[in-house]
Amino acid sequence: MSINTIETHVLEMIGESTTPDVFTDTDTGMEPIRDSINDAIEEITMLTGSYKLQYHLPLVQDQGFYRLRLTNGSIGWITDVFQVNRKYPLSQTDEWKLSNDNPRWMVNSGDPVDYFQIGKDVLCIAPRPSGTSDVLEVTMVVIPERYSSGTDRIKLRDAFKWAAVHYAVSEFWASRGDAFSAMDHYKKYLELLGIQTLYQSSAERVPYYKTAKQ
């Protein structure tokens, strides 16, 4: 049994690092701290979309709706869908646009062109595939599986490590009835999260408006 660095920092900040007696060095003893850190990781991933997976979905003839199930983690949102054999991306749309453009979109079959997500785990593609010989490469943001052991991989960017620490410390003080300290650390978490100044995927790009005039 071992605790990871985030847990170590949390224990240090709540005065439990030298002779731990409340949060013992076992999976059961560390469960409250791990719950808080897992909550923080999930929330940060929700906000930043920092963890993605590719999901290969074999098409089935005439099937338009697919329920996606992940073995580890939960589906966040779909960012890209690519048709592998014919090598083109599908466009994201919704049921209203499809119905407006073509009321028979559920009847027609062919090469899928559009997709949309329904709820937490359903993917709809249109038109429905006319064959089973293709595969869709679905890229999606995934909310990582909750870690349960000190040796499990933590799917959290290093920049957000201290944000997660403050999140857990905040919940520790809340569980002790100290709302003031809890709020103090929660504000620290929000500051360190730095939503306004996140690392951009391409910080060198400067967005600007331009007209279509030549």
Partner 1 sequence: MNFGKQLRRIRRFLRDPVGNIWTRALLLNLFNDAQREIQIKTRYLEDLQIIRVPPLYHCAYLHDWEWPYLPSSQSQFYQALRYHPQGDYVVCHRWETQFDNSGDASDEGVHFTQPWEAFTGVIPGEQVKIRFPSNFHTAKLMAYDKEPIEFTDKKQLQAYDSSYLNRVGTTFAYYREDMLDNSFIPYPLPTSINWNDLVESAVSPDFVYSHSWESTYLSGVGEQFTVYDSTDLIDYVFTWELDYTGQDEAGHGMWLFEAQFTVDGMIVHVSGDTTSSGFGTIVQRTGSLLSSEKGMAVDVVEADDNFLLIYDVLPTDIRVDNDESDFPNFLQKYIEYGVLSRAYRVNNDGNIKSLAEYWEYRHNYGIEILKKYMTKKFQSRDYRMTTRQTPAFRTKKQPRLPSAYPAVG
Binding flag, residue 74, partner 1 (CB under 8 A): yes
Total interface residues for partner 1 by CB under 8 A: 63
Closer CB to partner 1, 4 or 38, in the complex: 38
What residues form DSSP beta bridges with 139? 54, 80
Judged by CB under 8 A, the residue of 80, 111, 134, 137 near partner 1 is 80
Q: What are phi and psi of 151, to 5 degrees?
A: -95, -5
SS3 117: strand
C-alpha distance from residue 81 to each of 75, 104, 123 (Å): 14, 22, 10
Judged by CB under 8 A, the residue of 13, 20, 29, 43 near partner 1 is 43
Binding flag, residue 162, partner 1 (CB under 8 A): no
Residue numbers 16-35 binding partner 1 by CB under 8 A? 32, 35
Q: E-assigned strands of the chain? A: 52-58, 65-67, 74-83, 88-89, 91-92, 109-110, 114-118, 122-126, 128-129, 135-143
Largest CA distance in the chain: 72
- What would you report as the CA-atom Rg of the chain, rounded to the nearest whole angstrom? 23
Which residues neighbour 173 within 8 Å (Cβ) at sequence distance 6 or greater? 14, 179, 181, 182, 185
Q: Please state the closest distance from residue 64 (CB atom) to partner 1, in A.
A: 5
Q: Please state the closest distance from residue 86 (CB atom) to partner 1, in A.
A: 19
Binding flag, residue 62, partner 1 (CB under 8 A): yes
Binding flag, residue 122, partner 1 (CB under 8 A): yes
Binding site for partner 1 (CB under 8 A): 32, 35, 39, 42-43, 45-47, 49, 55, 57-58, 60-71, 74, 76-80, 91-93, 95-96, 99, 103-104, 106-107, 117-120, 122, 124, 128, 141, 143, 146, 171, 174-177, 179-180, 182-183, 186, 212-214
